[in-house]
């Protein structure tokens, strides 16, 4: 199974996990990290999608860990706030086929090919925010680098946006 097989979201998403035996556990440990959300931050650094794609939950968790670790080493545990803005609720299935010699008596081909649940994914639209980090002015460059580190872990080339949360001071 390759991740490239599941990048495009074709057809109706299969999300009814309550009817599935042996459904996979979500790999994302936390959806928010750092200090408090309502603290006095200067900037919001966002990671936005440039394309419509499906992202598997292992890639989302890997990106979250990379970004949080990079910011936390500089800003400390309470010097930032980060949150994931996507949730992997789409179930991915695979009809496993054996590709070795003598496997012809073990597999059924396309008979009963609904497959087993193997992973979870999040469908992301163009321009959607994947994750964001709120930081103070002195940690802005670190947050940008952290979002770039997170972008490397994802199967797309996202855009990093910086939004100022404080109004610009007027000089007279």
Question: What global pTM score does this model have?
Answer: 0.84
15-60 residue pLDDT tens:
677 777 778 888 988 898 888 887 789 999 999 999 999 999 999 9
**DSSP letter string, 38-62:** TS--SEEEEEE-SS-EEEEHHHHHH
Superfamily of domain covering 23-95+115-164: Ribosomal protein L16/L10 (3.90.1170.10)
**What are the structure tokens assigned to 57, written together?**
């939950």
99-148 residue pLDDT tens:
776 656 667 778 877 788 888 999 999 999 999 999 999 999 999 999 99
What gap in Å lies between CA 148 and CA 70, rounded to an integer? 10
How is the chain split into domains, by residue range?
A: 23-95+115-164
């Amino acid at each position: 199974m390759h991740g490239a097989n599941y990048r495009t979201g074709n057809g109706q998403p299969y999300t009814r996990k309550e009817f599935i035996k042996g459904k996979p556990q979500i790999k994302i440990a936390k959806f928010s990290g750092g200090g408090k959300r309502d603290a006095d931050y200067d900037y919001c650094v966002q990671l936005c999608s440039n394309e419509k794609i499906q992202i598997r939950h292992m890639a989302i968790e890997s990106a979250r860990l990379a970004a949080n670790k990079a910011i936390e080493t500089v800003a400390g545990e309470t010097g930032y706030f980060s949150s994931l803005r996507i949730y992997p609720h789409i179930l991915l299935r695979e009809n496993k086929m054996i590709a070795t010699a003598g496997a012809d008596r073990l597999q059924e081909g396309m008979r009963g090919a609904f497959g087993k649940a193997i992973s979870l994914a999040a469908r992301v639209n163009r321009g959607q925010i994947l994750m964001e980090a709120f930081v103070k002015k002195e940690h802005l460059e670190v947050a940008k680098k952290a979002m770039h580190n997170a972008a490397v872990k994802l199967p797309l080339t996202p855009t990093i946006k910086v939004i100022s949360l404080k109004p610009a001071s007027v000089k007279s």
